[in-house]
Amino acid sequence: MNWDYFMTILAQITDLHLRPRGLTCYRVSDTNNLAERAIRALLALSPRPDAVVVTGDITDGADAREYALARHILGRLPMPVYVLPGNHDSSDTLRAAFSDYPGIRDAPTASGKLHYTADVGGLRLVALDSSVAGKPFGLLGAEQLAWLDRVLAEDDRPAVVAVHHPPMATGIQHMDSIALHDTDAFAAVLSRHAHVERLICGHVHRPIVAGFAGTVMTLAPSTAHQLVLDFDDKAPVDFNFEPPAYFLHCHLPGSGLVSHLAYVENFPGPYPFWADEGVRWPGE
């Protein structure tokens, strides 16, 4: 089999939860510094991703100072950066802060739900807005879903749909109560378009994979703190410092979208695979 390595790489970081400069998040999570480290990890990649998508909760408090810092940190990336809001964001404040960013610059709506499409190499990115002002759960709404149906119908290139809230229960019950609410209507639209290769989400601060509406949903961990994995119905809403990570969604013609979870931190190694004394490898 000869594989075609003309690859498009879409990096996904999520749930930065930035605070005004100098402040930490929830007392102990230095989200600003951790976001900087994630950006440094992306900058060290070779080849560099074609684009970066940030799937919401960019700030913790939707404060204009937090968005100014987000611009400063994300502005170090030389490739196009696509941002979309999470429940900790404000669609309007985010739209104003990133009005010159690709996608947002040409978004079809000037207020309300912030959604847009963008070309990323061989992929079409469709960014959605599931945030609801003042609420932790997600909602796409009939208008946005009608737009999604339209843009997916007019272009059959491989599509990646990005939305902050996952549309299914994950088993972490306190998060399931604040997942996407209009799941059935969303599934009805996606199931009509077989070229949706992937749905990418954030919100749960854990790596999660699930099937949804004829496609695959991958949920990325946060660049900062992660949620404790606890399926107990009385699980406290706690976080920990499991390793921050991000996804590299690689589109390979003939294979489709192949996603690699990559860590922000460096770990021991690399070590070469030298054979031990007296050991023969297959084929030697």
Q: Which lies closer to Fe ion via its Cβ, residue 193 or residue 203?
A: 203
- Which residues have CB under 8 Å from 92's CB, separation 6+? 111
Window of 61-69, 115-123, 167-175, 199-207 that interacts with Fe ion by CB under 5 A: 199-207
Q: Which lies closer to Fe ion via its Cβ, residue 115 or residue 205?
A: 205
Whole-number Å distance between alpha carbons of 204 and 179: 9
Let me know: does 202 contact 164? Beta carbons within 8 Å.
yes
Query: Which two structure tokens, joined as six digits, stand for 107?
Result: 């978004």
Residue 86 binds to Fe ion (criterion: CB under 5 A): yes
Query: Which two structure tokens, joined as six digits, stand for 57?
Result: 């909760």
- Which residues have CB under 8 Å from 217's CB, separation 6+? 166, 167, 168, 198, 199, 200, 201, 208, 209, 210, 211
DSSP 8-state assignment for residue 132: B
Closest listed residue to residue 160, CA positions, set 50, 57, 2, 71: 50
Window of 86-94, 152-160, 189-197, 232-240 that interacts with Fe ion by CB under 5 A: 86-94
Q: Which lies closer to Fe ion via its Cβ, residue 82 or residue 193?
A: 82
Q: What is the per-residue binding string for Fe ion in 52-71, x denoting contact by CB under 5 A?
A: -----x--------------
Q: Which lies closer to Fe ion via its Cβ, residue 29 or residue 87?
A: 87
Helix (H) or strand (E) holding 53: strand 51-55
CB of 203 to Fe ion, least distance (A): 4
Residue 19 binds to Fe ion (criterion: CB under 5 A): no
Q: Which lies closer to Fe ion via its Cβ, residue 86 or residue 244?
A: 86
Residue 89 binds to Fe ion (criterion: CB under 5 A): no
Residue 15 binds to Fe ion (criterion: CB under 5 A): yes
Between helix 142-153 and helix 183-190 the angle, nearest 10°, is: 10
How many residues of this chain interact with Fe ion, rule: CB under 5 A?
Answer: 5
Residue 129 binds to Fe ion (criterion: CB under 5 A): no
Q: What is the per-residue binding string for Fe ion in 201-240, x denoting contact by CB under 5 A?
A: --x-------------------------------------
Contact residues for Fe ion (CB under 5 A)? 15, 57, 86-87, 203
